[in-house]
């Protein structure tokens, strides 16, 4: 419970924590940011790590003159992390195939069938473009490349959409945070902004679940 509360606090006040990281670790903050994004996108059991909110907050912190976080270097580092993360996830799914769905930890299936089904519904709706769309949807973002690997999507198709999705996701959210970061209201209401980002990002999943339930009734 304490771990969950700590994670919640980190996400809700991620701008403050990032500023502390910059002041405390200097250039090592790039490695910390790289690791978080790489793990969140590349390790199928880590979909709960912050993604959207981290990119927004990192851009916001980079905009503050008292920090030494360079927006260009940061975007390049996080682009590499996002592309490599999805590639690792794809490779795991392709290498293990359906056997990956049977792996258990403490008696529980690591990847839940419900999560896989939701990701499949995204593939049915968006096709290969799911790799791009999923970048903006928590949990689906982590599972999409994994499912693409299991389904043996062609690597050339995967890597193309992987790069496009990473550019839109990393550059888009980082620059939004960068340009809004110095607005007083955003600085004083960061928790509300994070909540708004989370709500907006999970709306596609909510719509898919509602749509699926109504289709079953019909």
Residue of 201, 195, 101 whose CA lies nearest to 143 = 101
Q: What is the pLDDT, as a whole number, of residue 3?
A: 44
pLDDT of residue 77: 95
Separation of CA 23 from chain center: 25
For residue range 97-132, what is the model confidence (pLDDT) as tens digits? 667 666 665 566 656 666 666 666 777 777 778 888
Q: Domain segments of the chain: what residues?
A: 2-217
Q: Which region holds residue 107: left if phi is over 0, alpha if psi is between -120 and 50, else beta?
A: left
**d(C-alpha 71, C-alpha 75), whole Å:** 6
Q: What is the pLDDT of residue 88?
A: 93
pLDDT at position 166 is 94
- pLDDT number for residue 164: 94
Predicted pLDDT at 4: 45
> First and final CA of the chain: distance in angstroms?
40
pTM above 0.85, yes or no: no
Q: Give me the phi and psi of 108, to 5 degrees please.
A: -115, 145
- Stretches in the chain below the pLDDT threshold 50: 3-4, 7-8
Count of beta carbons in the 10 Å neighbourhood of residue 37 = 27
Q: What pLDDT sits at residue 189?
A: 76
* pLDDT score recorded for residue 160: 93
Which of 173-189 are b and which e, b meaning 16 or more Cβ less than 10 Å from the residue's Cβ?
bbbebbebbeeeebeee
User: What pLDDT score was predicted for residue 93?
Assistant: 84
pLDDT at 58: 85
């Amino acid at each position: 419970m304490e771990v969950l509360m700590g994670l919640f606090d980190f996400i809700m006040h991620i701008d403050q924590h990032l500023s502390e990281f910059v002041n405390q670790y200097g250039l090592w903050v790039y490695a910390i940011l790289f690791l978080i994004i790489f793990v969140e996108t590349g390790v199928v059991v880590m979909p709960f790590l912050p993604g959207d909110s981290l990119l927004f907050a990192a851009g916001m912190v980079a905009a503050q003159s008292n920090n030494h976080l360079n927006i260009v270097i940061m975007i390049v580092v996080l682009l590499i992390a996002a592309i490599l993360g999805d590639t690792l996830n794809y490779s795991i799914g392709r290498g293990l195939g359906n056997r990956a769905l049977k792996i258990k930890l403490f008696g529980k299936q690591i990847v839940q069938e419900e999560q896989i089904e939701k990701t499949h519904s995204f593939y049915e709706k968006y096709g290969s473009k799911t790799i791009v769309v999923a970048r903006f949807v928590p949990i689906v973002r982590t599972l999409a490349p994994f499912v693409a690997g299991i389904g043996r999507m062609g690597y050339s198709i995967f890597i193309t959409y992987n790069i496009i999705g990473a550019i839109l996701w990393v550059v888009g959210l980082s620059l939004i945070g960068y340009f809004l970061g110095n607005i007083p209201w955003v600085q004083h209401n960061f928790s509300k902004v994070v909540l708004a980002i989370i709500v907006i990002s999970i709306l596609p999943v909510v719509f898919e679940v509602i749509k699926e339930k109504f289709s079953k009734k019909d």
